[in-house]
Structure 1
Amino acid sequence: MYSVIVVPPMCGSSEDQVRIAPGERLAFGRSGTDGGLTIDHAGVPRVAGEITAHRSFWLLSNLSEDQTYVVENPEGAGEHLKIAPGRMEAPVPFEFSRVVLPAAGDLLTFDVWAPRHAFRSADRRGLPGAATAPAFALDRTSRYFAVLAALCEPRLRGEPHAPLPAVEQLVERLRPVWPAVSRSSVYWNVDYLAVKLRLRPRPDTAEPGPRVNGKKESLVSLALRFDLVREDDLVVLAAPAGEVVR
């Protein structure tokens, strides 16, 4: 039973995919290897690397002399791993991965899927003792959450390095669910989020000092790193007719 699927560059159908069972290895590089993945490009080492399958994840070995490989999570809004030259059996936890190989000015990619991720129930009901306090207490029906979702939207839509929307763009994006939105109300909610998520102290406890820049970038970075906003949450930006975020 396979646990990892390797999707070669320019893969035309499922028949071209390579399925690997736990414990099996797949070499890749410019030179054809027995049953391996050939990447026909002059900038790819003859023996570039090796993939090893495990039950619910996989390992990547970088066999190049001087090239760092990158493993991207296409669903992770910029989440990635760097695999240094010579690094052996680096574990990759993503369910969907894109391996990026720098090659003589080009960036070549192929995908690796690990579809057998396992999860246990997170239900803690019935356990004795006090409940665990949430790490980030966010009200998904609030205006501040709609602002946060609008900030994160470009990067959640598959553009991990997309520039963040300007305040004017946020106002236009939020108007369908918040007709009275204004620049000042967006600024207020951004400031509130920065305090709520502990990116800056409350005004009554802040010490004098230089103004903190990059507030929106810090908010989006935190929200995406900890999955505070997911793609499913973008529905708050398209409320049904007659319904607005309170």
Structure 2
Amino acid sequence: MAKDLILFSKSDGIATISINRPEVYNALNGAAFRELADISNECFLDESIRAVVLTAVGDRAFCMGGGIDPTDSIENVQTSFSINTVSLMRFVSDIRRMPKPVIASINGICAGVGISLAAACDIRICHSQVVFKQAYTSLGINQDGGWTQLMPLLIGLSRASEMVFLDEVITAEKALQWGLVNKVVASEALAETTLKYAQQMARGATQAFANSKALLNKSVLPYLETLMEEERQSLLKVSLTEDFREGVQVALRQKSVPEFKGR
């Protein structure tokens, strides 16, 4: 029996979406992206759901990004980008348009598209051992999932640029200072704190939350879908470069350090 790549549960007005690929640090493949998009649509439409939690199974990673299958050719990877980014765009768009609050409960390493997923949520909570990494440019590709709009809004253009061009590891403490996360707690308190916030929001004024979120979106994210499509087209273009081939070799552990040539 195939394993559910994304777990989904509902209880007392709270929906919990859990990425379930702990054996690969919760990296997402094509099927997982599609499941996320389908589940987010269900959360969007189900009026009994008044708050949503996005998290992951295990204690090592929230999401390490979009996984690259070691058996894939570079051409198959490019095709996967073309298909998977459509589901990613659906998911991020649903999270932002969803007329209810969404909490990212970040329980481990958060890198690549994992940051995009977390950034799309309304509130982000992590534990003190979590680290963040932009990761895209170190693999020779650009960002997707609204990263280039969401991150400058959360942490400012200067710090987003620092992530893009230096791609250093960001600790939970720095993430809190920068505004990437709203709260940092001890690892053993993450689930309890997340539930506390989710219960508070599920008991809140749902219509006021929905209207406020829509107004916030109109204020600072009026062109998110357009930007995500531009990211997608740029990603498909850069995936044809020699630099990306270098990045894939690193991702597949065929090389330890990329030798980017700017081509």
Give 1 or 2: higher helix fraction.
2
Q: Which has the larger radius of gyration?
A: 1
Q: Into which bin does the TM-score normalised by the smaller protein fall?
A: under 0.3
Give 1 or 2: higher strand fraction.
1
State the structure with bigger RCO (CA 8 A, min sep 6), 1 or 2.
2
